[in-house]
Amino acid sequence: MRQDQVDPYQRRSARVYAGAGRAGHGPAEPPAGVLYDAVLLDRDGTLIEDVPYNGDPEKVRPVPGARAALDRLRAAGLRLAVVTNQSGLARGYFSEEQMRAVHARVEELLGGFDAWLVCPHDDSDRCDCRKPAPGLVYTAARELGTSAARCVLVGDIGRDVAAALAAGAAGVLVPTPVTRPEEIAAAGWVAADLPSAVDEILRRQRAVQPAEVGERVGTALVVRSDSAGDVLVTGPAIRAVAAGARRVVLLCGPRGRAAAELLPGVDEIIEHPLPWIDPAPAPVDPDALRGLTSRLAAVGADEAVVFTSFHQSALPLALLLRMAGITRIAAISDDYPGSLVDIRHRVPVGVPEPERALSLAAAAGYRLPVGDEPVLRLRDDAVAPRPAAAGDPGYVVLHPGSAASSRACPTELAARIAAALTAAGHRVLVTGGPDERTVTARVAAAGGADLGGRTDLAGLAGLVADAAAVVVGNTGPAHLAAAAGVPVVSLFAPTVPFGQWGPYRVPTVRLGDAGAPCRDTRAASCPVPGHPCLSGVDPAEVVEAVRTLVPSGGGIR
Ligand SMILES: [Zn+2]
């Protein structure tokens, strides 16, 4: 069939083939607290050696360890699908029949898959399924009876990871010699080979499941100091604790208070700065810490679960908790904790912050209940309705600022992004805190409405919830968007790992130079002249990212 005779539906849609595997739909109600129920695998360069445009079953060579690795996934109850770009079909390099013979050979060598999803197009078709578009991931999830967020995709190039992220799935990059360095830098999760990718998927899956679910406790004290974003990403773990405790008291810092008010499962909040956590700490005040210790003692907690980020220490607080008489303390600590901690948990670097926290909750015997997905969520009754100035839903929120200037979008670039989005037909709302009004005014002057300083965090949550997409750096509102399930164009400065801090389980496109010199510095202000990690973003990339994430056009007027 010539290309111009192809059915127009076929020109836009993925081809779906049943595999020789179990091919079934998942349970209507997924089991409690499980992160993934399906693994999607790229074909060429991931499962089998890449032989360009191969139509010959005799040339199929599995990568080392593939069969055993896939069998470990099958044994763990995970469904498997192949998601593959095969533009050789569009170009006539091989026939569909030849391709099916190749797939039969793959299944002969590697065992059955539950489904095969093939994009038969090339880039010029502008289809919705050719990776990095998310179409194959969405179709695979549907075929497997699950959601994209409950899938993890393994691939060997940046397109694979980008397709996963754009659908809200997790993406693991297993580089080969042809993988470009910038693709490796941009990936939030990199594994050395297919077997180690599989091992880490299974490890993360197990890590959020308690060895045994503990007795329901009376009062649990949970702790998450630091800023709004930190508190929001700890939300799933706090809900897990809440499912196993009659009362949850959250100790947070002043910068996280507004976010703490938004979290489901929290019965009471104690606000106090912790000088060993705050980035610009006041001197230690012994009287204040004595006062805090007394307040913590008055909570009467049966247990404390101390959540921290990977660079923070739980031990100073654990000492205060001991002095407050708390007899069971769980915390992540690489440093030797002596008798300060009863449940000492350790987590490898690179795990998403929400899962890192969930794994500590699991170590303490807590997990999310059935029906509570491991996603960020906010209390419905705490999110304020969007302000009237926002107009109808479907706009694009552009949030240029960040408490850490190293993670903020340069004002001049944000203005060009506002102009480009407006020119593409989007209604743009520019948001920011009261101290960012100069910036939001300048950005909105280039295109859009200025809502800078008009909302508190609860109001911003309401505004974000009705957006078609949010364009934002690595800062609190990205997590508000994730909590509302609103797609994120992430202008992500690589000062901290994307795999830990990227928007969690929500369709995302990552932009910016992931290999810039600020990478992994944790700098609060950019250490490199010109802020090169973000200043090189082309506003046209942002427009294209919104198109990828919101194919229906969303806020197009
Ligand atoms: Zn396609």
- For residue 42, indicate whether it is catalytic: yes
- For residue 128, indicate whether it is catalytic: no
Residue whose C-alpha is closest to residue 33's, from 219, 206, 263 = 206
pLDDT band (50, 70, 90) for residue 532: confident
Residue whose C-alpha is closest to residue 144's, from 307, 27, 301, 14 = 27
Distance 166 CA to ligand 1 centre (A): 15
Distance 301 CA to ligand 1 centre (A): 55
How confident is the model at residue 520, as a pLDDT? 86
3-state secondary structure 131-189: CCCCHHHHHHHHHCCCCHHHEEEEECCHHHHHHHHHHCCEEEECCCCCCCHHHHHHCCC
pLDDT tens digit sequence for 291-323 = 999 999 999 999 999 999 988 999 999 999 999
Distance 374 CA to ligand 1 centre (A): 30
Distance 121 CA to ligand 1 centre (A): 5
How confident is the model at residue 14, as a pLDDT? 84
pLDDT tens digit sequence for 215-250 = 888 999 999 999 999 999 999 999 999 999 999 999
- Buried residues in 297-331 as b, exposed as e (16+ CB within 10 A): eebebbbbbbbbbbebbbbbbbbbbbebebebbbb
d(CA 328, CA 244): 15
Residue whose C-alpha is closest to residue 225's, from 167, 274, 267, 173 = 274
Q: Please check the confidence at residue 27 and state whether its pLDDT lies above 60.
A: no
What beta strand segments (E) does 481-542 contain? 488-491, 508-511
pLDDT band (50, 70, 90) for residue 517: confident
d(CA 530, CA 356): 33
Distance 284 CA to ligand 1 centre (A): 59
User: Choosing from 4, 7, 37, 42, which is the catalytic residue?
Assistant: 42
pLDDT tens digit sequence for 340-398 = 999 999 999 899 999 999 999 999 999 999 999 999 999 999 999 988 888 999 999 99
* DSSP string across 293-348: HHHHHHHT-SEEEEE--TT--SHHHHHHHHHTT---EEEE-SS--TTS-SEEE---
pLDDT band (50, 70, 90) for residue 528: confident
Q: Please check the confidence at residue 5 and state whether its pLDDT lies above 50.
A: no
- Cβ–Cβ under 8 Å, residues 395 and 414: no
First-last CA distance in the chain = 39
Dihedral angle of Cα 485, 486, 487, 491, to the nearest 10 degrees: -110
Distance 145 CA to ligand 1 centre (A): 21
Name residue 395's amino acid.
Y
d(CA 521, CA 78): 37
pLDDT band (50, 70, 90) for residue 51: very high
Distance 95 CA to ligand 1 centre (A): 16
d(CA 440, CA 450): 6
Name residue 236's amino acid.
P
Long-range contacts of 385-390 (CB under 8 A, 24+ apart): 385/462, 386/459, 386/462, 386/463, 386/465, 386/466, 387/451, 387/454, 387/455, 387/459, 387/462, 387/463, 389/449, 389/451, 389/454, 390/429, 390/449, 390/451, 390/463, 390/466
More confident residue, 31 or 196: 196
User: Choosing from 44, 156, 230, 513, which is the catalytic residue?
Assistant: 44
pTM score, whole prediction = 0.94
What beta strand segments (E) does 12-99 contain? 15-18, 38-41, 79-85
Distance 120 CA to ligand 1 centre (A): 6
Residue whose C-alpha is closest to residue 461's, from 442, 441, 432, 483 = 483
Q: Please check the confidence at residue 35 and state whether its pLDDT lies above 60.
A: yes
% residues pLDDT > 70 (the chain) = 95
Distance 144 CA to ligand 1 centre (A): 19
Name residue 364's amino acid.
A
Instruction: Report strand pairing: 115-119 vs 15-18.
Output: antiparallel
The helix/strand/coil state of 75 is: helix
Distance 138 CA to ligand 1 centre (A): 12
d(CA 200, CA 210): 17
Distance 365 CA to ligand 1 centre (A): 45
Distance 126 CA to ligand 1 centre (A): 8
How confident is the model at residue 282, as a pLDDT? 92
- Cβ–Cβ under 8 Å, residues 527 and 521: yes
How confident is the model at residue 405, as a pLDDT? 83
pLDDT tens digit sequence for 419-464 = 999 999 999 999 999 999 999 999 999 999 999 999 999 999 999 9
- Cβ–Cβ under 8 Å, residues 36 and 211: no
Distance 128 CA to ligand 1 centre (A): 6
How confident is the model at residue 69, as a pLDDT? 98
Helical ranges in 208-256 per DSSP H:
228-233, 235-243
- Cβ–Cβ under 8 Å, residues 376 and 236: yes
Instruction: Give, in order, the Cα–Cα distances in Å from 476 to each of 40, 89, 217, 293.
Output: 30, 44, 31, 29
- Cβ–Cβ under 8 Å, residues 184 and 175: yes
How confident is the model at residue 12, as a pLDDT? 65
Distance 118 CA to ligand 1 centre (A): 8
pLDDT band (50, 70, 90) for residue 6: very low
Q: Say how many CA atoms lie within 13 Å of 463 toward its Cβ.
A: 29
Distance 117 CA to ligand 1 centre (A): 10
* Range 193-211 average pLDDT: 96
Q: Say how many CA atoms lie within 13 Å of 236 toward its Cβ.
A: 30
Reported as type and span, the H/E element at residue 269 is strand 268-271
CA torsion through residues 485, 277, 401, 440, sign: positive
How confident is the model at residue 131, as a pLDDT? 95
